[in-house]
A = this chain, B = another copy of it.
Amino acid sequence: MHTDREIRGIRTAVAGWRGRGEYIGLVPTMGNLHDGHLRLVEAARRTADRVVVSLFVNPLQFAPGEDYERYPRSFEADAARLAEAGVDLLFAPDVATLYPDGGSRPPTRVEVPGLSDILCGAGRPGHFTGVATVVTKLFNIVAPDAAWFGEKDYQQLLVIRRLVADLCLPVEVFGVPTVRESDGLALSSRNGYLTPEQRAAAPALYQALTAARDAVLAGEEPGNADTAGWNRLQEAGFEPEYFTIRRAADLDEPGPEDRDLVALAAARLGEARLIDNVRFER
């Protein structure tokens, strides 16, 4: 595996592969890799001839007061795991490479209206604009044929699908199912913020989502299932930010005729803000 911090080196490597007709896959990450990320790499390797992983903790997607500074960084361990997983190229730019003007002027932004403003976007103003902007930049630098994202960040996946469609980016976007611990907790870098007691309570998030799914499948109104899920999280010691059942296609409120649904929640447990979701058809 080759590692490069510069845009030029990435472009040269990818251009060489493309010149040989190879299909290029990209897995964007913020590092601190866990098995969920490795699942993305495996999925990419099954489809792509060459797999590029980007590792960049993107300041633009953290709101003021969020955990940008203390977000866990583990470059050496990450690079070793990616090399072992068969990644061809690791793009690990410095902040000044992707944002050369620093804070001296606001950078060009990619905004996905609507989808960016609800749920996690309501609780984290500017977050999805930061995501959409950096993903657009990564796509323009790497020029992949396809990119893989985790379904754990379901709203992010929809934002990226929409920006790709709207901006006519020539990239296929694939979602990869969430990887969970044996007790159901979705893998996340932010699980590392949990104390042992909080870690023991954390699976309640997934349990509340699957309970909401089961209630709706048994005929419950989504609105009632939302309330029950919110209460269940509070009882487990979470501070819920939202708990809601939405249409899977666009995260709008579901009507009686909508079949393809997703239960989503964000909740704080101690220092950690955890999110998870369960997709289902009724």
Contacts and interface: CB of A to CB of B under 8 A. Distances in A.
A contact patch SS = mixed
Contacts of A132: 108
A170 to B, nearest CB: 6
Interface in A1-35: 7, 11
Interface of A: 7, 11, 98, 100, 105-114, 132-133, 136-137, 140-141, 143, 162-163, 165-170
Nearest to A106: B113
Nearest to A136: B167
Contacts of A108: 110-113, 132, 162-163, 166-167
* 6 residue pairs, one from A and one from B, having the closest CB atoms: A108-B166, A106-B113, A140-B168, A137-B168, A109-B111, A108-B112
Given A105-B113, A111-B111, A140-B169, 7 more contacts: A98-B168, A100-B165, A108-B111, A108-B112, A108-B167, A136-B167, A140-B170
Q: How many copies does the complex hold?
A: 2
Contacts of A143: 170
A168 B108 CA distance: 10
18 contacts: A11-B170, A98-B168, A100-B165, A106-B114, A107-B166, A108-B110, A108-B112, A108-B132, A108-B166, A108-B167, A109-B110, A109-B111, A110-B110, A110-B111, A111-B111, A133-B167, A140-B167, A143-B170
A281 B113 CA distance: 42
Contacts of A165: 100
Nearest to A138: B168
A106 B166 CA distance: 10
Contacts of A112: 108
A114 B111 CA distance: 16
Nearest to A129: B111
Max count, chain B CB within 10 A of own CB: residue among A105, A113, A140: A140
A87 B147 CA distance: 34
A7 to B, nearest CB: 6
A162 B137 CA distance: 13
A28 B108 CA distance: 20
A140 to B, nearest CB: 4
